[in-house]
Structure 1
Amino acid sequence: MYIASFLSEQDPKSIDISQQAHRRPLSPATDCSPLVEYDEKSTPQRFIRSGIPRTNAVDRQRSRLFSPPVPPPSPAEAAPAALTVWLKSLLFNCNGFTVFDSKGNLVFRVDEYARSGNKGEIVLMDAAGNSRLTIRRKKLSLGEHWQIYDGEEAANPLFSVRKYVKFIQSNSKSLAHVSPCVSPPGTASGSDGGEGFEVEGFYAQRCCQVYDGRRRVVAEIRRKEDVGGAAFGLDVFRLVVQPGFDVAVAMAIVIVLEEMFGSRRSEFRV
């Protein structure tokens, strides 16, 4: 737990919008005082309590006062998921990943023994050790081609990830293309449009973005900020996942990027 708290700092507490609204002083246009109307015969103005407005201004005031309030969005639904990824297994003599949430809780893990016979296959597990996704390298394919499966027993892949190949010198930031093989739950609804996702950036510098078919960022890899004078290297970084996109799928994409462009990319090769 010391490692988890060291790698993940607490996020700022979400602001209670409803409490803010109660504390904010009301303007005259939204004051909850009784409705008033203007009596043209009075000089100066005389305000008479009435339940029947006679002017457009009072109509607008009544509409503002008595229209049903719009509930604020839930902070859990609106806020992106900020994960801390550590390129290290918590088990001795293992290679892998350890992933914490913003509160320091273990979320995902990958434990691969250095001399295991499961080369070319990586299993993403949750904190309890249950298999979430399996990443397998496709054999006999041109270029690097990885597939993401649901659990360990699924026969059909959910996603196919191909490394972007630059035949000529180019300034393109494209790293890989993620194609959905099916329409799994948990991915951004209506975001891929059958076109899949593009991964762009520089993984070696821990600066990558995952774009959907509408060029919206659904996941992002960032450098870990220094905390309390402690500098983090490339083995510790952030994974920020937007609402509506499955964090397990985002983590699987990170694992594939490590296999394609990371310093340990030969450890799981066939």
Structure 2
Amino acid sequence: MTKVFPNNVYARLNTTPCSPVDGNGNGNAAILTVWKKSLLLNCSGFTVFDCKGNLVFRVDNYMAGNKGEIVLMDAAGKPLLTIRRKRLSLGDNWLVYDGESAVNPRFLVRKLMNILNTKCLAQVSSGGNSNNVNDDRSGSTGASSSSSSKNVLYQIEGSYTQRCCAVLDKKRRRVAEIQRKEAVGGVAFGVDVFRLVVQPEMDAPLAMALVLLLDQMFGSSRRLSLSH
């Protein structure tokens, strides 16, 4: 298998990333390599490196235990964000919480099924609107849908299966992108290794949380992790 990064990630947990990952609006874009593989044996998950090969984020064993819940951690294993499937929801709706909290979600992410807009994969709204989510399976554009659209913070467009999509803010600016990773040494990476580019205007943990949700909504892991 083509080597994702040469560094020994376990020996570099305390190093400083080469790009900002806190979304503070300063500096250049963070260019991260996402590997759909856990660092732990016999576990499923994701491992994320910065441009120097330093470990930045990790997700371990998210398809086991509490199904419908994903915990995004930093390099040392500290929970940054917890993603939970929204209960009693007819659509594919998820809530994003700080740390391991189960109250006051920061964001609501919902999969869109609108035949009139096939480019749009999902929308991200503020967590305060989590109790007012409507089922979008019919692709309706009624008053409730119009009201909900006013609270959208980000929209995700493109194709996750092709690893070619973008997160757009209210001004239609690309604040994060998922891209195919170039071939290295003549051997091309598959879809399990790809690039996540995060602009300074967006919080990098949130961008990675959106990757995890896209994988749940459109990736092959969805069949496993959401079975009840």
**Aligned partner (choices 120, 127, 133) of residue 68 of structure 2:** 120
Match of 2:39 in 1: 90
Regions of 4+ moved over 6 Å: none
The sequence identity of aligned pairs, in percent, is 60
Do 2:160 and 2:218's aligned partners in 1 also have CA atoms closer than 8 Å?
A: yes
Number of residue pairs matched by the alignment: 189
Q: Which residue of 1 aligns with 2:83?
A: 135
AA at the equivalent of 1:198: Q
Query: Which runs of 5 or more structure 2 residues have no equivalent in the other structure?
Result: 8-17, 19-24, 129-149
Matched, 1:238 2:175: no
Equivalent residue, structure 1, for 2:176 = 219
Measure, in 2, the Cα distance between the counterparts of 1:155 and 1:113. 20
Is it true that 1:159 corresponds to 2:107 in the alignment? yes
CA contact (8 A) 1:4 1:106 kept: no
Match of residue 81, structure 1, among 12, 20, 30? 30
Inter-partner Cα distance in structure 1 for 2:101 and 2:108:
17
Mapped contact 2:31–2:50 kept (Cα < 8 A)? yes
Structure 2 residue 164 is matched with structure 1 residue 207 = yes
Q: Does 1:102 align with 2:51?
A: yes
Q: Give 1 or 2 for the bigger CA radius of gyration.
A: 1
What SS does the corresponding residue of 2:224 show, helix, strand or coil?
Answer: coil
Counterparts of 2:117 and 2:86, CA distance in 1: 28
Label 1:171 to 1:160 Cα distance change in 2 as closer, same or farther (>3 A): closer
RMSD: 2.2
> Is the 1:98–1:106 Cα contact (8 Å) retained in structure 2?
yes
Q: Which amino acid aligns with 2:196?
A: L
Asked which structure has the greater RCO (Cα within 8 Å, sep 6+), the reply is 2
Give the whole-Å Cα distance in 1 for the aligned partners of 2:91 and 2:218.
Answer: 13
CA contact (8 A) 2:123 2:152 kept: no
Per-residue deviation, 1:263:
1.2
C-alpha spacing 1:202/1:113, structure 2 compared with 1 (3 Å): closer
User: What SS class does the counterpart of residue 201 from structure 1 fall into?
Assistant: strand
Which amino acid is the alignment partner of residue 124 of structure 2? V
Q: What letter is aligned with 1:142?
A: L
Counterparts of 1:93 and 1:101, CA distance in 2? 24
Paired position in structure 1 for 2:10: none
Corresponding residue number in structure 1 for 2:5: 4
TM-score by length of 2: 0.77
Structure 1: give runs of 5+ residues left out of the alignment: 7-12, 14-75, 183-192
Question: TM-score, length-normalised on structure 1?
Answer: 0.66
Over 3 Å counting, the alpha-carbon distance change for 1:153 and 1:181 in structure 2 is closer
Residue in structure 2 matching 1:174, options 120, 136, 139: 120
